[in-house]
Amino acid sequence: MRDFDRSLDTSGVEDAAAIGKAMHEGGYVPELTLCSNALRCRETLENVAGYADTGRVLFLDTLYTEDAAGYLSIIREHGAVDSLLVIGHNPMTEDLALALAGSGPGETREALSYGFPTAGLAAIRFGGGLAQAEPGAGFLEAFMVPADL
């Protein structure tokens, strides 16, 4: 089986549902969700969406093939919205979150430095629009991992 066609295991399904519940409870509602076309990402979206509003959804093959810099370009390209959820792959997601989060509560930034697990959620706020998102310019508002929920 190709990696692109690999599905979530039982714990991945449970983790995505837990993050969906946490998004709902925390009031995290993206205007737009960018989701990799890889099967496990589509399944993650489905399980998150069972508990939380995910806004309008665009499926992008490039979220499977790009690096963190490519992810940033994709975010900028779709940055006309106020809030955005990206469902992608590691190490790109982790690298991007670490690069963008220039400030935030110390314990939250420290938690992010330990890694970005499957179905992890980093809520990063920017003073300007997402179209101008830059490394170090974001405020890490929250970092949630399913194991802590």
For residues 5-22, give the mean pLDDT.
96
Residue-wise pLDDT tens digits, 63-87: 999 999 999 999 999 999 999 999 9
Whole-number Å distance between alpha carbons of 108 and 72: 21
What is the Cα–Cα distance from 118 to 18, expressed in whole angstroms? 11
Stretch 27-34: mean pLDDT: 98
- The reported pLDDT for the residue numbered 128 is 86
* Structure-token pair, residue 89: 């792959």
Q: Which residue has the higher pLDDT, 109 or 145?
A: 145
Kindly list the domain boundaries of the chain, sorted by start residue: 3-148
Asked whether 124 and 97 are in contact (CB, 8 A), the reply is: yes
pLDDT at 108: 87
Give the distance, in angstroms, between the CA of residue 20 and the centroid of all CA atoms in the same chain.
12
pLDDT for residue 107: 87
Choose which CATH entry (3.30.70.920, 3.30.70.20, 3.40.1640.10, 3.40.50.1240) describes domain 3-148: 3.40.50.1240
Percent of the chain with pLDDT over 70: 100
pTM: 0.94
Give the DSSP per-residue string, 103-126.
Answer: E--HHHHHHHHT---TT-EEEEEE
| Interior/surface letters 112-145, b for 16+ CB within 10 angstroms, e for the rest | beeebebbbbbbbebeeebeebeeebbbbebbbb
Return mean pLDDT, the chain. Answer: 95
- Other residues' Cβ atoms within 10 Å of the Cβ of residue 55: 16
Mean pLDDT of 54-67: 97
Give the residue from 19, 143, 34, 50 showing the smallest Cα distance to 83: 34
pLDDT score recorded for residue 121: 97
